[in-house]
């Protein structure tokens, strides 16, 4: 079965750029989606299909996907960006989530 790997945690200073990776075998050939989940809340999609941002998601959020790594980038990080972030792909008809990355904004 297909697996994707995320770092357990990422820290970033306020106003700086956070980068969260999602690694998988030739993940560049798949569509990668990213979700943000804050404590006590349901997940929210922040990037879909590698690089598209839903309406309402700040332009500070962007995504890329190539080779064996997909990346979620958050520029000008804010305290409100603190959350767990998950990447997600489909292995044919099986949904696969990364283990999640806890983003801490210092």
Binding site for other proteins (CB under 8 A): 1, 30-31, 33, 35, 37, 42-45, 48-49, 54, 84, 86, 88-90, 93-100
For other proteins, the closer CB: 29 or 67 = 29
Burial of 20 (0-12, 13-18, 19+ CB in 10 A): buried
Residue pointed to by tokens 């292995």: 91
The CB-of-20 to other proteins minimum distance in angstroms stands at 13
For other proteins, the closer CB: 1 or 59 = 1
Do residues 28 and 68 lie in contact, with contact meaning Cβ atoms separated by under 8 Å?
Answer: yes
The CB-of-36 to other proteins minimum distance in angstroms stands at 11
For other proteins, the closer CB: 13 or 46 = 46
Burial of 43 (0-12, 13-18, 19+ CB in 10 A): middle
């Amino acid at each position: 079965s297909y697996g994707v790997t995320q770092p357990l945690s990422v820290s970033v200073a306020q106003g700086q750029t956070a980068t969260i990776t999602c690694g998988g075998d030739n993940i560049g050939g798949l569509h990668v989606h990213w979700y943000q989940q804050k404590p006590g809340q349901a997940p929210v999609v922040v990037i879909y299909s590698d690089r598209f941002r839903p309406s309402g998601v700040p332009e500070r959020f962007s995504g890329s996907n190539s080779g064996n790594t997909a990346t979620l980038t958050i520029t000008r990080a804010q305290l409100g960006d603190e959350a767990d972030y998950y990447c997600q792909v489909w292995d044919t008809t099986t949904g696969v989530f990364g283990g999640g990355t806890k983003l801490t904004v210092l």
